[in-house]
Structure 1
Amino acid sequence: MNSLKFLHFSDIHLDAPFGSLGSELLAAEKRRQDLLEVFDRIIDIAKMEAVDIILVSGDLYEHEHVRKSTIHYINKKFGEIPAIKVFIVPGNHDPYISNSFYRNFEWSENVHILSADRPKVFLKEHNACVYGAGFSNFHQEKSLIEGMEPADPKHINILLIHGTVDLNFKKNRYNPMTSSELSLLGMDYIALGHFHNTLWGIGKDGKIYNPGSPEPLGFDEEGEHGIFIGRIDFVSEREKKLYVKFEKTCKRQYKSLEIKSDFFESDDQIIDMILREAVKNENRDDLVHITLRGYTAPGYRINAANIANAIKDSFFYAVVSDETVNQYNYEELVNEPGIKGLFVRKMFSLINKAESAREKHLLMKSMQYGIEALEQGKVEVL
């Protein structure tokens, strides 16, 4: 019985700029180092698990930002595992274009770049065929699997592909496909990339897997991140057994913390509340987005930048969003006969029609500033 063991990862985005960290240049450089350390861990896992092949489903690096020294480092690490074949399909961040390192760099002998020039590799020792459909530009409006012939069931068949699956976008520029179309190809495992969240066994036959980014890259990627380890056993042309497990690799996590109070009265009070929450949740190595919700004392203005600066040593990185509302007695104001009462009634009519919590919050803030302007003749916004 033929068997093939693999490690599948994608979207590590080596040398990513981490522009979301703003002016925190040291933090951005440390995050780039984090990515290299996670890449090292992936290579170590491949050795420990004694896999036959590594599947990289695109966005291995950032074409616009990658340093040549990083490419040398990647290749060195792949070269340290000569018995493990590495298959890479280019993504939208590392496309197979004229000045791509995939075209113009001498990769280790065990590294195979799958592209239109070389769309598949047959592994005789495993009776397996590895197919690849990757980006030849930063955008791919037409599906890369259009016209692809179904795989030969006499082999173990794997497809590496980067793109969007089952998304109902009118104009998708990132290789739009459906899980039904992919299932028709008769693959025994489809190694998908592009989504940064994990997808387990989707499609009609449950053969489509996306590990997500092995290290999260932004606040929209909360939770644990990692890679897939799998094995395909060839029992017969009609029966191939697939086993897949998830392995955590992330060094840090992005987390959202919510701090609530009916009466915020000082920045120091808020700082103490955040630090107590940080100790309780052990967030020191994480990147946190702290949202303040509730009511502030009349006249008190939260200084989010001051708070973020005061707590910065308790987290790897922290950003503070103020979604509080100044504590006015709106129930009394709504019954006033003058312009303030009229204004508050008009605002409440809009607030009651708000379609989201965010819209409601912005309208409440607008009402607060409007009352201040009417009472004080000016508005101070921090």
Structure 2
Amino acid sequence: MKFIHVADIHLDMPFKALGYLGEKRRLEQIENLKKLIDLIKLESIEYLFIAGDLYEHEYIKDYTMNMLIEMFKEIPNVHIFISPGNHDPYVKESMYEKYSRLFPENVHIFKSFECIETEKANIYGYGFTDFYDEGIDFTNFKIKENGKRNILVVHGDLDGSKNDEIQKKYNPLDKKELEKIGFDYVALGHIHKSNYNPMETTIYPGSFMNYRFQDDNAGFIKGEFKKGIVYQLTNNHRTDGFRHMEEEKLYIEHITFDDRIYEEINVDITEIRSIQELITHIMIKKLNKMNYIKINLIGEKNFEINTRYIFDNLDMENIIKINDLTTINYDLEEISKENTLRGVFVKNALKEIEILSDSEEDIKKKQNIQKAIEIMMEEMRNS
């Protein structure tokens, strides 16, 4: 039994951070999906599991859905199972509902928890019917014992706490509970970072492509249940201590088609004396033009930083963000002890910075506070 397990494709994602490059990235989604269909044909794959977030509910276009359906029609002998997630829930006026009569017969889209029996496997699935879902109740649930493989396809948060107000909104799942039930494979979606391990059977493949700086190891799983040699320890001292047995077991591998990653680079400006020198310094770096790059400016600044000016003067379209994380070349701790106006100002500013976190919102607040200190210090120095 051969299968492909993919999740978090996010068709027609807006890619706001990429600006005009977003359209190119959306085309790459379609191109990579076509590659996946070609692989399914080439490898004679029998099952395709899509574990949620196939598309973006707010942005998905009819044109994209029609292309997707045509791709599914190219593989009529493949069992396709889709478990909608929080970005593509099966809600009223969703694309799943709108195109329900146009999907080919080999496609099954889960809503309520159910089991579909096929010739080789019992496929269990569950889909989001709202943008939030508090999950499946597995109390007293038992898998079928009919000699077939039992596979769960579901979008959710593995080991997400049901007492956590955020995590419980995204179908929290308990790994130990799933293992106790005895599924042969659990095809998960929702977390963009893959937990791929060839010895595991409860798997997040990661997002289909890299979509954010947090994403890691994007791709999908190709799996097969096939016969292999199992070595079992014996107590027979007349032999080598092992019994060789042939039985069917699961083999999986993680594959990626995505050539791009979101790369974060730190640039220390301590020894740089002007903004033009900084621009030249960045441009001569050997940056991978295939990747989307975020530059963090760090170190002590010796000149005023204008990230907009730097961004506009870099002839590199794949640099999509520049963060000013530099510090001012002053001993602010000493200044904060002064019984002066600037001492009081700096002391209060440092207190505000101290309580801020490393979230993107708080980083911006820190930058604004540091900018205010910088302006104040420069004005006092020039007065």
Q: What's the counterpart of residue 20 of structure 1?
A: 17
Q: Within 5 Å, give how 1:137-176 maps onto structure 2.
A: 137-143=130-136, 145=138, 148-152=141-145, 154-168=147-161, 170-171=164-165, 172-176=168-172
Q: What's the counterpart of residue 379 of structure 2?
A: 376
Distance 1:103 1:371, change over 3 A: closer
Distance 1:378 1:19, change over 3 A: farther
Distance 1:98 1:332, change over 3 A: closer
Q: What's the counterpart of residue 123 of structure 1?
A: 118
Q: What's the counterpart of residue 82 of structure 1?
A: 76
SS at match of 1:70: helix
SS at match of 1:46: helix
SS at match of 2:35: helix
In the TM superposition, what is the alpha-carbon distance from 1:248 to its structure 2 partner? 1.3
1:285 aligns with 2:290: yes
Q: What's the counterpart of residue 43 of structure 1?
A: 37
Distance 1:317 1:337, change over 3 A: closer
Superposed CA deviations along residues 23-51 of structure 1, whole A, max 9, x for unmatched, are x2x22222211211121121122222221
Superposed CA deviations along residues 301-324 of structure 1, whole A, max 9, x for unmatched, are 11101211222x424342111111
Distance 1:234 1:375, change over 3 A: closer
Q: Within 5 Å, give how 1:185-334 maps onto structure 2.
A: 185-201=181-197, 206-221=200-215, 223-233=216-226, 240-277=248-285, 279=286, 281=287, 283-297=288-302, 300-311=303-314, 313-330=315-332, 333=335
8 A contact 1:156–1:234 mirrored in 2: no
Identical positions, percent:
31
8 A contact 1:55–1:86 mirrored in 2: yes
> Which ranges in structure 2 are unaligned for 5 or more consecutive residues?
229-246
Distance 1:378 1:216, change over 3 A: farther
Amino acid at match of 2:221: F
Amino acid at match of 1:229: K
Work out the number of aligned pairs and report it. 359
Query: C-alpha distance in 2, partners of 1:362/1:136?
Result: 38
Amino acid at match of 1:227: F
Distance 1:92 1:240, change over 3 A: farther
8 A contact 2:327–2:370 mirrored in 1: no
In the TM superposition, what is the alpha-carbon distance from 1:357 to its structure 2 partner? 6.9
SS at match of 1:321: strand
Query: C-alpha distance in 2, partners of 1:272/1:258?
Result: 15
Distance 1:375 1:13, change over 3 A: closer
Query: C-alpha distance in 2, partners of 1:145/1:271?
Result: 58
Amino acid at match of 2:109: I
Structural RMSD (CA):
3.3
Query: C-alpha distance in 1, partners of 2:334/2:180?
Result: 65
8 A contact 1:252–1:287 mirrored in 2: yes
In the TM superposition, what is the alpha-carbon distance from 1:361 to its structure 2 partner? 10
SS at match of 1:199: coil
Superposed CA deviations along residues 290-311 of structure 1, whole A, max 9, x for unmatched, are 10001121xx211101211222
Superposed CA deviations along residues 222-256 of structure 1, whole A, max 9, x for unmatched, are x4411110112379xxx651111011121421110
8 A contact 2:207–2:218 mirrored in 1: yes
Q: Within 5 Å, give how 1:349-368 maps onto structure 2.
A: 366=369
SS at match of 2:81: strand
1:7 aligns with 2:15: no
TM-score, scaled to structure 1: 0.82
Q: What's the counterpart of residue 86 of structure 2?
A: 92
1:65 aligns with 2:59: yes
Superposed CA deviations along residues 95-147 of structure 1, whole A, max 9, x for unmatched, are 1223233234211122222332x8222222xx311111111111102336455
Amino acid at match of 1:122: E
Amino acid at match of 1:82: P
Query: C-alpha distance in 2, partners of 1:35/1:288?
Result: 19
